A and B are shown apart, each in its own frame.
Chain A
Amino acid sequence: MLGVIAQLVARRLLVAIPILFVVSALLFCVLRKLPVDPAAMSLPTTATIAEVEAKRHEMGLDRPLPQQYVIWLTDALHGDFGRSIQFGRDAGSLVAGTLPATIELAGAAMVLAAIFGLGGGLLLFHLRGTFLETVTDFASILLLSIPEFLWGLILLFVFGVVLQVLPFTGAVSPNLPQPHVTGFLLLDALWVGRPDVFASALRHLILPAFALGLAFSPAMMRVLRSSLFDVYHEDYIQQARLRGLSERQVLLRHALKNAALPTLTLAGVQFGILFSGTLLVEVIYSYPGMGNLMVDAVRNADLPLIQAIGLTYCIAVLLINTVVDSLYLVLNPKLRVR
């Protein structure tokens, strides 16, 4: 069975890799076509036209676009994403320095979104047929109308400003040291044996992770509920009841397993969007992740950095989709028969 699954995952990756190449080429072309001259930007404003031309030649900007792309791609495959104009540092290492924080935030948010989505979906389904159904259904659409960046601001206002119970800037209290081992702050804090840093980092993670988790769960709730509805029309549910199973057993052992599949498909798409949704939440909470770096780069038209970060987001989305699709194959035996 493992062999079959590995084969299917490999097939899925084979689709993802060409897409990645096309995406990187598109990203490259779009950024090169922008009315921004990276050569002029990396020189002081007093540079003469001749100096800018020399720099353009040095940077390879006077060559045809496909050739430029091949050079960039070769460098990128060797781990060299060019130099950030604004920071004067290697763009790849800037991304690598901020990516772990974003992954930590996105990971925590995905767990929360899954918990809320599952719990909310079961609750919505449980209330079917009662007068509360209309109320909760209505409420779920209202919840659907609060995007992550509004949740970020609302939670910041309620828990940070009014109640003052949780911190809302940065990833850790400024007076605490930030250990650097893997780059994942929570892991590193434990690694160097600083429970105080760990606790502080965890408290800083709560509001941004909840903002994202709350924003991405309503869609999952609604899909889970409607697929539970579909599953309950099936004969095997009636069969399970006739065997004397309680409603709870029918729901959890039989219906949920089958209703989970459409929800999982949606979760794959949702988690991909969630990963890029970290950008806004990071900006709101001044969280030192890739999103803040991206906004910095965009404001300063720092093309090499935008390119490196944009590509990293795309890879992350493709990776998340591939993982969820593979999970789908693992959970759905019907798709394994070929």
Chain B
Amino acid sequence: MVGSLLRALRSPRVLLAVVMVAVIAICAAFAGFLAPHDPAEQNLLSILTPPAWQPGGDQNFPLGTDSLGRDVLSRLIYGARTAMLVAVFASLGAMIIGAILAHIAGYFGGVVDWIIGRLVDVWMSFPPVIFSLILMVGLGVGLDRVILAIVLVDWTRFCRVLRSEVLIVRRHDYVAAARLLGFTHWQTIVREVLPATLPLLITLFSLEMAIAVVVEAILSFIGLGVGPNQAAWGQMIADARQYVYQSPWNLLLPIFAIFFAVAAFNLLGDGLRRTLDVRLAETGH
């Protein structure tokens, strides 16, 4: 497992993805050191200044300021923190719930499987955007609420895909052997089934991070996201939309930031899928 993870790093694409993720992670972790200004600090004397390399730009604000005179670079960096927090915790939560239910359903089968399967069906008939909007009405704005909403909406992504994987794994002889050796169901699942489904789990996790970044941006864009006191890329876009003629960079930079983060996680997920998925590697795709 560790070996194949290291092998994955040899692919230039995965390497690129790791570097991109690292850039965002560093921005998120060291936002306080990297950002030249407080992201909420308003400089009403210099509003909507263009980036420093353009005429009228101010060296003090490398990427310009927004309509309230807040430093765009600092807001982008703090936005990365918001995006990463949501991506990591929402994906973890969705993965844990989805994986537990998937293992239970796939391992035990029968009635339990049927019930979990129908639960997923019902869940999936709610379009994700609509579902998360409705949840945000009830939960109210805030970082933790956004994370909770994404967990509640997206656990099905893990559950559906993993369940079929568990179904395949549990038919293997070594799983039956573990039971014959006297392993309890719990031990069999954790020691025998889970390691076999782990590669898929990691891949799905990476792809879910990309989805979580998008959902957070969407909710913040609509104004039902992390709340006005926290810098978020979606919010920056919503603000910049009204001033698109005066300062197009304010719109383009957060768009690029979202694209950069989503592409990083998608490339990572795709690279991991190629190297970790044994069956895929065998057929040569």
**Chain A binder among B67-75, B118-126, B194-202:** B118-126
Flag if B128 contacts A298 (CB, 8 Å): no
Chain A residues in 8 Å Cβ range of B80: none
Flag if B130 contacts A145 (CB, 8 Å): no
Q: For the complex, would chain B's binding face be called helix, strand, loop or mixed by DSSP majority?
A: helix
Flag if A149 contacts B134 (CB, 8 Å): no
Of A142, A306, A314, the residue contacting B126 (CB under 8 A) is: A314
Q: Which A-chain residue is minimally distant from B16 (CB atoms)?
A: A138
How many residues on the A side are at the interface (Cβ–Cβ under 8 A)?
50
Q: Which A-chain residue is minimally distant from B221 (CB atoms)?
A: A149
Specify which of B128, B129, B218 lies most central, judged by the most chain A CB atoms within 10 Å of its CB.
B129
State the total of A-B contacts with C-beta under 8 angstroms: 110
Report the minimum CB–CB distance from A227 to chain B (whole Å): 11
Which parts of B234-285 form the interface with A (CB within 8 Å)? 237, 241, 244-245, 248, 251-252, 255, 258-259, 262-263, 266-267, 270, 285
Of B13, B134, B270, the residue contacting A27 (CB under 8 A) is: B134
Of A141, A145, A226, A306, the residue contacting B134 (CB under 8 A) is: A306
Specify which of A144, A150, A154, A272 lies most central, judged by the most chain B CB atoms within 10 Å of its CB.
A150
B109 at the interface (CB under 8 A from A): no
Report the minimum CB–CB distance from A13 to chain B (whole Å): 14
Flag if A22 contacts B255 (CB, 8 Å): no
Chain B residues in 8 Å Cβ range of A299: 223-224
Flag if A19 contacts B218 (CB, 8 Å): no
B21 at the interface (CB under 8 A from A): no
Chain B residues in 8 Å Cβ range of A161: 244-245, 248
Query: Once bound together, how far apart are the Cα atoms of A229 and B266, in whole Å?
Result: 22
**Chain B binder among A62-70, A90-98, A201-209, A277-285:** A277-285
B214 at the interface (CB under 8 A from A): yes
Of B133, B222, B224, B259, the residue contacting A145 (CB under 8 A) is: B259
Flag if B285 contacts A229 (CB, 8 Å): yes
Interface mask (A23-40 → B, CB under 8 Å = 1, otherwise 0): 100110011011110000
B136 at the interface (CB under 8 A from A): yes
Query: Once bound together, how far apart are the Cα atoms of A310 and B127, in whole Å?
Result: 9
Q: Which A-chain residue is minimally distant from B135 (CB atoms)?
A: A30
Chain B residues in 8 Å Cβ range of A26: 122
Flag if B128 contacts A276 (CB, 8 Å): yes
Q: For the complex, would chain A's binding face be called helix, strand, loop or mixed by DSSP majority?
A: helix
B138 at the interface (CB under 8 A from A): yes
Q: Which A-chain residue is minimally distant from B261 (CB atoms)?
A: A145
Which parts of B200-243 form the interface with A (CB within 8 Å)? 210, 214, 217-218, 221-224, 237, 241
Flag if A294 contacts B285 (CB, 8 Å): no
Specify which of A26, A153, A284 lies most central, judged by the most chain B CB atoms within 10 Å of its CB.
A153
Flag if A279 contacts B129 (CB, 8 Å): yes
Chain B residues in 8 Å Cβ range of A318: 125
Report the minimum CB–CB distance from A323 to chain B (whole Å): 14
Q: Which A-chain residue is minimally distant from B263 (CB atoms)?
A: A145
Of A144, A153, A277, A298, the residue contacting B137 (CB under 8 A) is: A298
A103 at the interface (CB under 8 A from B): no
Interface mask (A137-177 → B, CB under 8 Å = 1, otherwise 0): 01001101111011001100100011000000000000000
A115 at the interface (CB under 8 A from B): no
Report the minimum CB–CB distance from B266 to chain A (whole Å): 5
Chain A residues in 8 Å Cβ range of B13: 138
Contact A298/B133 with A153-B255, A154-B255 known, Cβ cut-off 8 Å = yes
Which parts of B133-186 form the interface with A (CB within 8 Å)? 133-138
Contact A141/B122 with A27-B134, A30-B134, A147-B214 known, Cβ cut-off 8 Å = no
Chain A residues in 8 Å Cβ range of B121: 19
Report the minimum CB–CB distance from A14 to chain B (whole Å): 13
Report the minimum CB–CB distance from A101 to chain B (whole Å): 17
Query: Once bound together, how far apart are the Cα atoms of A142 and B237, in whole Å?
Result: 20
A189 at the interface (CB under 8 A from B): no
Which parts of A270-320 form the interface with B (CB within 8 Å)? 272-273, 275-277, 279-280, 283-284, 294-295, 298-299, 301, 306, 309-310, 313-314, 317-318
Could you list 4 further interchain pairs (A-B, Cβ under 8 angstroms) beyond the known A23-B125, A145-B263, A157-B244? A27-B134, A30-B134, A276-B127, A317-B127
Q: 6 A-B Cβ contacts within 8 A? A: A146-B262, A153-B255, A277-B129, A279-B129, A283-B222, A306-B134
On A, residues with C-beta under 8 Å from B are 19-20, 22-23, 26-27, 30-31, 33-36, 138, 141-142, 144-147, 149-150, 153-154, 157, 161-162, 226, 229, 272-273, 275-277, 279-280, 283-284, 294-295, 298-299, 301, 306, 309-310, 313-314, 317-318, 321
